[in-house]
Structure 1
């Protein structure tokens, strides 16, 4: 039987840590603004607008369960910011009860960033257990999340869209135990160094490409590494075997690695694709694979891709100081 001292010690440890596996977060953490039915703010943006733009101290918002039909923009903050979604299980996205949804697209005159349901325009942001959806569907670029800030982390977050779901665009970023769904170029961006860990990447019918990294020079730090993740058809979707590619180069120094991941038969035997037949953009790409399994991990890969001799380390992508800002309790 546990002693009172042991119980108190464990409780204190749990309160100090960002994540206890399968722990719940069904009420606002101390000091957080609260959003939703029965709480202070009715919309997420209203709570965001009440945060200090001058403070360098950490600020946080907790969101009660429900669906929020709005566009949320995080801009101009000088200190760290955390968004928490209501959940009975913080350890992954599967227990998420908060959804932010919007349906803006480039066809409406918006930029990629401007179309995003959640626009993260600053660094030092952590997002936990929230579903983010751009419901526009086929026909135009329509972003769920635009991540523009350095030292940004998404933990147990679900991203859903069709074309251009996740704009991982600037700075060092981490996506851990997340769900990412789309059809065309749905993990894309130009300058971000992004580490995807233990995440479920799901494709829908009607698309062809998972990543479209836009690294445009040898000095550009952009690097996408998908580590210990899964790639398969989304639930309920009939996706033709071999119809998807791991990536194509938005710019000709594109750099992406899939490693130690399970790739289903939706992945084409060539693995990777040129931008187009008339404009291949493959002369300086760095596309690699290591230790992947599943039906989609085999085949004669594209000549401009490589089989790596070892896995890429997280410090190679995010830098040696990543533990100072990444919630490592979510990492594999």
Structure 2
């Protein structure tokens, strides 16, 4: 299922960082306090969409002001949980085009299929968990600036050479932290990806922080593991790129000098806090 743009807004609980108190023109709005022209449930919003239209089911930075504005689903509601749906941005190669933009606190995404190419998942604000899901793309396809995110049992599939993550943590005080626990990384079905042409991540900002642990990394991952941002702007002086207990061809080799290994796995409570069980659906965790 591919959606027109949908925004999940809980107007009484909008995070200030979102800097928007109303949805953009043409957006389908799902809100628990739905007003005229809005929907109180995701199903009612989806049911309102045409099943016969041949119009393109995507937005991108070809026609949108920023990454969030390109998203098929823009999620701002605190405590939002989404289960068992496919969310696609079909723009393809050539521009930033987000499938899911996560902008609210304590959000949970379970059993989803998230497909795109560049910038598929914008993991940007608050605390979030992505569990037993599928995420694909090629370029920086899991990215964001301030979110603490736990990716658990996620099938990560790459469509071409590029980078899985582009975490944009920009200072020591920025809380952003991505941990991939018991995930798999390999070529997407139907795509031929040359061995060693994909990286676990590159630093969008110079305090980028990402860990892959207890994950199966196929040969698509380069032996260096991690990449600089660009040849002219490495952004690696303060990065925190670590691994623990990974397996597979992509887990071996001489890793980048600015990365390292851990002596123990990072715990979910380190990322989401000791009270995570109050809002995380733990039945989806490994």
For the aligned pair, the TM-score class normalised by the smaller chain equals: 0.7 to 0.9
Higher Cα radius of gyration: 1
CA distance in 1, matches of 2:283, 2:41: 19
CA distance in 2, matches of 1:160, 1:209: 15
Could you tell me whether the CA contact under 8 Å between 1:104 and 1:110 is conserved in 2? no
Q: Please show how residues 183-332 of structure 1 align to structure 2 within 5 Å.
A: 183-205=138-160, 207-332=161-286
Residue 7 of structure 2 corresponds to which residue in structure 1?
none
CA distance in 2, matches of 1:264, 1:189: 24
User: 1:102, CA displacement in angstroms?
Assistant: 2.6
- Return 5+ residue gaps in structure 2 as ranges: 1-26
User: 1:109, CA displacement in angstroms?
Assistant: 3.1
Residue 132 of structure 1 corresponds to which residue in structure 2?
87
CA distance in 2, matches of 1:53, 1:104: 24
Tell me, yes or no, if structure 1 residue 114 matches structure 2 residue 72.
no
Q: Please show how residues 14-163 of structure 1 align to structure 2 within 5 Å.
A: 45=28, 48=30, 51-52=32-33, 60-62=41-43, 102-163=57-118
TM-score by length of 2: 0.84
CA distance in 2, matches of 1:69, 1:251: 40
Tell me how large the CA RMSD over aligned residues is. Answer: 2.2
CA distance in 2, matches of 1:102, 1:325: 32
- Return 5+ residue gaps in structure 1 as ranges: 1-43, 71-100
Residue 81 of structure 1 corresponds to which residue in structure 2?
none
Residue 9 of structure 2 corresponds to which residue in structure 1?
none
Counterpart secondary structure, 1:232: strand
Q: How many residues align?
A: 252
Counterpart secondary structure, 2:164: strand
Listed one character per residue, the Cα deviations across residues 77-122 of structure 1 (whole Å, up to 9, x for unaligned) are: xxxxxxxxxxxxxxxxxxxxxxxx8310001133100000000022
TM-score by length of 1: 0.72
